[in-house]
Amino acid sequence: MFTRQFNSTFFKLNEVNKPYYVTTPIFYVNAAPHVGHLHSMVLADTIKRWNGFLSVTNTPAYLTTGTDEHGLKVQQASANAGVETKAFVDNASKTFKILADKAHISYDRFIRTTDDDHIEASRQLWKILQTNGYIYKGQHSGWYSVSDETFYPETQIEKKKLEDGSDQYISIETGKTVEWSSEENYFFALSKIQPQLLDHIEKNKRFIFPQKRYEQILREVKEGLSDLSISRPKSRCSWGIPVPGAEDVQVMYVWLDALTNYLTSAGFPNLKPNSPWPANVHVIGKDIIRFHAIYWPAFLLAAGLPLPDHIVAHSHWTMKGSKMSKSLGNVVDPVQTLNTFGVDSVKFFLMNDSFLSRDSDYSNDRIIHRHNTELVNKYGNLVVRVCGKAFNIPRSISSDSKIFRNESLIHQINDLPEKVATHMKNFNTAQALSDIWSLISSANTYVQESEPWTLKSNIEKQDAIIKDVSEAARVSSILLNSFIPEISSAMLDRLEVSKDKRNILFASYGTDTSYGKNANRKGDYPIKSIETD
């Protein structure tokens, strides 16, 4: 039986008590939310919902998001705005929380790096690293980017000639301006932990997604790692967490502070056996891969803490092939987009049109096309068809015709959960949705070709067709609940599927024979088209 095979292969969450822990990056508050932030939230939320869905014993899934509020960029942004720094970050943080709530992100904690427990967690991690011999004091000179808040080695800097003939030095990776800086800081002995980090990466091929990012990080670690400056003089940056033992003169490097949020949300430093740590998945943008795939695991290894299972780095959004920027006037307001097109329609677009390995092009027209063509014309049409007054779902699903069964469609239904699970194991939402829509398309084609509305004189055949197609609609809707929870719930409501039969145990053919009692009625469309001019 398919369900038993699926259980043994993919229900591993039930073997442990800890929640399945998913994180978004915490978002820097020096600028307004954009579509990339929404993408991170939606991808993490989809992964959380899917893994919660897999847990038949209700092992919880746990999701955190939030804001990164310290550092020189924030200090400068608040000064430029003429606002006291704490008031500035309070207001900015609200905009990200509004976005998360507007997108119906099922977060369990919205963390802020100005939270008291996070400040304490960061200081405790520092003390552990210091006790373990990984922190020392030294003079640091190098190329520093205020925008990126990091030092870059000479090999990652290039000289650019400006129009006035002067030279400008920039980071090769980010294109941001760097300047030569010399100061006394605390250092993390990254070179000391490098062999251990390399060993972990080489032994764990699924540690970093996608493969190209894994290979990028592997190359960088193999080339050797320089020790990392992890504090800043208070004279240059006062807005940060004070360094233990040097509170008056040094603040923590913003990335050491920010990355610790994942531990804070899990209860660190008081981690318990059933706490969420270690994280199962860190969802991030590709631009912060080094911080998450080199610095963060290095900090954890040095502290003797377990590492996350997976770091998933998604690519960026462009518009008509160009990078989004304020100067080009092509930055998308994600809250306005959600208000205009609806939460699930935007989620559907983001999870369909995004890829881990390459940038994706944003288009309002594409959102509308996906909604009208796939959600309404294909998915909605399938559900409305089987709920037509000419049919009887309860009678159909209780029938057992061996003659008129569509074995090909039944196999497609039963194969689908494992296919989707495999894609989600690789964080490939686009392929997961593609396979679900393949079933929806097959079911629609079968209805169109078999014309069950013409079979009033052959009820056995009509019922067999409606049973197979209804099951395709029901199972598809159950599997879609992690991707488009509101639309799929509306479809399941229209099919009158009981709320306690919308989990993975019922995502195969014939596992629910009690739905649709009053579903066959005229009208009551669960989804409408987006009107265009």
Is 248 a domain residue? yes
Q: Fill in the DSSP letter of residue 15.
A: G
Cβ atoms within 10 Å of 522's Cβ, excluding its own: 8
Q: Which two tokens stand for residue 510?
A: 């014939």
State residue 17's pLDDT score: 76
Is 530 a domain residue? no
What CATH number should be reported for the domain holding residue 456? Answer: 1.10.730.10
The answer to whether the beta carbons of residues 20 and 55 sit under 8 Å apart is yes
Is 352 a domain residue? no
- Percent of the chain surpassing pLDDT 70: 96
Of 418 and 144, the structure prediction assigns the larger pLDDT to 418
Is 269 a domain residue? yes
Alpha helices in 296-360 (DSSP H): 296-303, 334-341, 343-353
Question: Phi first, then psi: what are they for 225, rounded to 5°?
Answer: -120, 135
Q: Which two tokens stand for residue 328?
A: 């080009």
Is 528 a domain residue? no
State residue 408's pLDDT score: 98
Residue 389 pLDDT more than 70?
A: yes
Q: Are residues 267 and 155 in the same domain?
A: yes
Question: Phi first, then psi: what are they for 236, rounded to 5°?
Answer: -100, -40
Is 346 a domain residue? no
pTM of the predicted protein model = 0.91
Is 332 a domain residue? no
State residue 442's pLDDT score: 99
Q: Are residues 386 and 307 in the same domain?
A: no
Torsion angle, CA of 315/319/324/329, rounded to 10 degrees?
A: -170
Which pairing describes strands 228-229 and 360-361: parallel, antiparallel, or unpaired? unpaired
Instruction: Dump pLDDT digits (tens) for 476-524.
Output: 999 999 999 999 999 999 999 999 999 999 999 999 999 999 999 988 8
Distance CA 221, CA 215 (A): 10
Q: Are residues 264 and 122 in the same domain?
A: yes
Q: Of 255, 281, 314, which residue is a domain's last?
A: 314
Q: Are residues 48 and 170 in the same domain?
A: yes
Domain span at residue 468?
A: 364-506
Q: Which two tokens stand for residue 427?
A: 């964080």
Q: Are residues 250 and 374 in the same domain?
A: no
Is 497 a domain residue? yes
Reported confidence tier of residue 145, pLDDT bands at 50, 70, 90: confident
Amino acid at 160: K
Q: Are residues 368 and 263 in the same domain?
A: no
Q: How many domains does the chain have?
A: 2
Which pairing describes strands 157-161 and 250-252: parallel, antiparallel, or unpaired? unpaired
Q: Are residues 299 and 369 in the same domain?
A: no
Give the 3-state secondary structure of residue 480.
Answer: helix
Q: Are residues 135 and 200 in the same domain?
A: yes
CA-to-CA dists, residue 178 to 17, 145, 181, 520, angstroms: 47, 4, 9, 66
Distance CA 129, CA 406 (A): 62
State residue 186's pLDDT score: 97
Q: Are residues 381 and 233 in the same domain?
A: no
Closest CA to 32 of 361, 326, 327, 339: 326
Residue 11 pLDDT more than 50?
A: no
**Mean pLDDT, residues 19-34:** 96
Distance CA 130, CA 109 (A): 29
Q: Are residues 411 and 275 in the same domain?
A: no
The answer to whether the beta carbons of residues 96 and 334 sit under 8 Å apart is no
Reported confidence tier of residue 6, pLDDT bands at 50, 70, 90: very low
Q: Are residues 28 and 160 in the same domain?
A: yes
Reported confidence tier of residue 248, pLDDT bands at 50, 70, 90: very high
Residue 2 pLDDT more than 50?
A: no
Q: Are residues 376 and 445 in the same domain?
A: yes
Sheet of strand 322-323, all strands in order from the earlier edge strand to the far edge: 322-323, 317-319, 360-361
Distance CA 117, CA 473 (A): 46
Closest CA to 61 of 73, 52, 50, 71: 52
What CATH number should be reported for the domain holding residue 236? Answer: 3.40.50.620
Q: Of 296, 314, 332, which residue is a domain's last?
A: 314
Q: Of 294, 314, 334, which residue is a domain's last?
A: 314
Looking at the DSSP assignment, which residues form a beta bridge with residue 72? Answer: none
